[in-house]
Structure 1
Amino acid sequence: MNYQGDFLKRGRKSCRYPHCIVWTPIPILSWVLPFIGHMGICTSSGVIRDFAGSYFVSEDNMGFGRPTKYWRLDVDKVCGNGAATWDQAVHDASEEYKCRLHNLCLDNCHSHVAMALNLMRYDNSTSWNMVNLCVLSFIHGKHVR
């Protein structure tokens, strides 16, 4: 069984990317600075959560359209109970960001994803931030076909 191939086929058809960080360009801004875009994090079932604006975390409806890139993370690098811990961290970060004002430079969609990764202690780290997420997703992200 080709798990990676099955994952890609499933993702393209249903727009589900379990245990992934997803990215989509922001018109004009991403054309000028291609490493800048809109980011979300997916639950273990592939539901996308993204901080789409002040006091609003969307579910399966990214602020700037469907994902164009995804970065699949390893659920085994989550401290705790794998998928359950992952989903709880995504939920808790989303609940926190429903109470926050969006700030393009200081507290944005990348910060929301970073909080989720910090809460789950992904890769045994609590140092996730919008800068390292931007760089790592640019390097490790794969294009959706």
Structure 2
Amino acid sequence: MAEAEGSSPLLLPPPPPPPGMAEVEVPTAAETDKKPFSGSGGSTMDVDRSRFPYCVVWTPIPVLTWFFPIIGHMGICTSTGVIRDFAGPYFVSEDNMAFGKPAKYWKLDPAQVYASGPNAWDTAVHDASEEYKHRMHSLCCDNCHSHVALALNLMRYNNSTNWNMVTLCFFCLLYGKYVSVGAFVKTWLPFVLLLGIILTVSLVFNLR
């Protein structure tokens, strides 16, 4: 009787899971790449939907960026990731960035906002956008970078009101991250090709 009880199936260890069960629960590499990644404050970025909460975003401008890769079009995002950018005279675009989707983003820290009032980040982005709806666009003096600089000045980001197009260009170059390898290639490949053509032509004329 003891032997019968010892051989009872109830006392045996549970059988291993059928083959393939573990594979179902493990995400594939493609699924991992598409998964949104978290930002500060519990917000999430979603590259596919062009959602970059608390970010400054940048994208190449055709022809101009081909010759000067550090120059491009800039916008600033709300706390939910909606892009606002000074796209032309008296026009600030919302959720439809001029010159295409962002190629690069610079993640900012909402804890570095020193302006008072509820939701100071979004208030500053809104007020800067309303101001630039009444301004003429100037490529060299008052442009998309100036719009972003005004938003950062209004919110006193990093306890500063000295943001301008030069500092933004420098910090975006220093801290900005490309959204993908393709975005990096799109930015720099035309410049490399043009540089190669210029060098080749120069060598041909110098060797004559």
Q: Which residue of 2 aligns with 1:60?
A: 95
In the alignment, residue 141 of structure 1 is paired with which amino acid?
G
Instruction: Flag structure 1 segments of 5+ consecutive residues without an equivalent.
Output: none
Measured in 2, the distance between the counterparts of 1:104 and 1:38 equals: 10
Give 1:7's match in structure 2, choosing from 38, 55, 62. Answer: 38
CA 118–28 in structure 1, closer or farther in 2 if over 3 Å, else same: same
Q: Which residue of 1 aligns with 2:105?
A: 70
1:27 aligns with 2:56: no
Larger RCO, structure (CA 8 Å, separation 6 or more): 1
Is 1:44–1:83's contact at 8 Å kept on the other side of the alignment? no
1:18 aligns with 2:49: no
Equivalence map 1:72-91=2 (5 Å): 72-80=107-115, 84-91=119-126
Is 2:57–2:102's contact at 8 Å kept on the other side of the alignment? yes
Q: Which residue of 1 aligns with 2:73?
A: 38
Give CA-to-partner distance per residue, 1:41-67, whole Å, 9 cap, x none: 000000000000000000011111000
Give 1:51's match in structure 2, choosing from 67, 74, 86. Answer: 86
TM-score (norm 2): 0.65
Instruction: Flag structure 2 segments of 5+ consecutive residues without an equivalent.
Output: 1-35, 181-208
Q: Which runs of 4+ in 1 moved over 4 A?
A: none
TM-score (norm 1): 0.92
Q: Which residue of 1 aligns with 2:8?
A: none
Is 1:41–1:48's contact at 8 Å kept on the other side of the alignment? yes
In the alignment, residue 90 of structure 1 is paired with which amino acid?
V
Measured in 1, the distance between the counterparts of 2:37 and 2:98 equals: 27
Pairs aligned (count):
141
Measured in 2, the distance between the counterparts of 1:47 and 1:81 equals: 22
Shift in Å at residue 13 of structure 1? Answer: 2.3
Give 1:93's match in structure 2, choosing from 128, 131, 138. Answer: 128
1:113 aligns with 2:148: yes
Measured in 1, the distance between the counterparts of 2:135 and 2:55 equals: 23
Measured in 1, the distance between the counterparts of 2:117 and 2:37 equals: 21
Query: Sequence identity, in percent?
Result: 64
Between structure 1 and structure 2, the one with the greater Rg is: 2
